[in-house]
Structure 1
Amino acid sequence: MRFVIAALYACGCVDLSEPPGWVAADDYINTAVECRQTADPGACERIRTAWDRNYTDALSGSYDAQRTISFCLSTGCEQAIREDRTLGCAWRLVISGSGHPEAGETDTADRAHFCGPDMLDQQARTEAQAQSETLLKMLRKTS
């Protein structure tokens, strides 16, 4: 049995970096754009290189990583990450709903901006709220 599990992991057939139910970190990479095509190729590469670690840390409850994930989903971070403003807002709601002791006025302002009407319509804000509730439940299961 150990051999089968080791073989599945070695071939890449099984990804153990994200807990079950989570989307793989690589699924958020913006494959439509090569970093060399962006305004700042170095920044794009650094963001992509750090993405897997930030995503894994965010799933583990890291405040800083959750802020990074939220920002990149909301903005695309130098086109390195596939922009998903609704999910970016959902992570902002997770940050405010997690009770992080580090959370403060900047997070409140970011939530107002990235979840506000300049970024999302009412339907997207409703979807973000529902997504944040799901994310919070999933985070509690992995903690």
Structure 2
Amino acid sequence: MLKFLLALSVGALFVSPVQATDLYPATKACVPGKPHCERWTAEFKRSLALAQKGDHVAQQTVAFCLYSGCHGAVAIDRVASCSWYLVIADSGAATVLDRSNLRNSCQPMTPAQKDEARALSGELVRKLYNRAPVAGDQI
């Protein structure tokens, strides 16, 4: 059983972000009484599509929603949020606010979570910008 769990946890590091979002949708069903949920669900889906094409503002929205949940519209995933903030930092267009958000979202995580976020961001950088991520740890 231990070997199975180890293989499963190691295998999770090698799932591409696109596959991960296909397997585990980030949006949630909106609960009645949450007026902004449906709007944020639509905004997150639109932003995710644009973020995967390299749009900086859309990447900021995706990272923020994965961190905060965007009024209950998105499942909180701190590792995915951190990985998007790493992509933003590696894009060459990062602002001071982006770097602050990177620190705030990534620093409280465990070393294993940080490693997973680095692996996911590396795959995203390769996919989006057709290059290896910039060397050096930004967390």
Task: Report the TM-score when normalising by structure 1.
Answer: 0.71
For residue 89 of structure 1, report the CA deviation from its aligned partner: 0.2
Conservation of the 8 A alpha-carbon contact between 2:44 and 2:65: no
- Residues 33-70 of structure 1 show CA distances to partners (whole Å, capped at 9, x for unaligned) of x3315xxx221111012222111111111111000000
For 2:27, give the aligned amino acid: I
Match of 1:108 in 2: 99
Equivalent of residue 96 in structure 1, options 78, 81, 89: 89
Following superposition of structure 1 onto structure 2, how do residues 1-143 of structure 1 map, counting pairs within 5 Å? 22=18, 23-24=21-22, 27-31=25-29, 34-37=30-33, 41-100=34-93, 103-117=94-108, 120-140=109-129
CA–CA separation in structure 2 for the residues paired with 1:123 and 1:97: 21
Q: Deviation per CA, 1:64-97: give whole Å up to 9, x if none.
A: 1000000111121111101110010000000000
Distance in 1 separating the partners of 2:45 and 2:103:
27
Q: Find the aligned partners of 1:49 and 1:93 in 2 and give their Cα distance.
A: 24
Deviates more, 1:105-114 or 1:49-58: 49-58
**Which of structure 1's runs of 4+ aligned residues deviate more than 3 A?**
none
Larger-Rg structure: 1
Gap runs ≥5 in structure 2: 1-16, 131-139
Contact 1:35 1:45 in 2 (8 A): no
TM-score, length of structure 2 as denominator length: 0.73
Deviation readout 1:82-138 (Å, 9 max, x if unpaired): 1110010000000000112xx211111111100112xx1111011101110011111
Match of 2:7 in 1: none
| Structure 2 Cα separation of the partners of residues 50 and 79 of structure 1 | 13
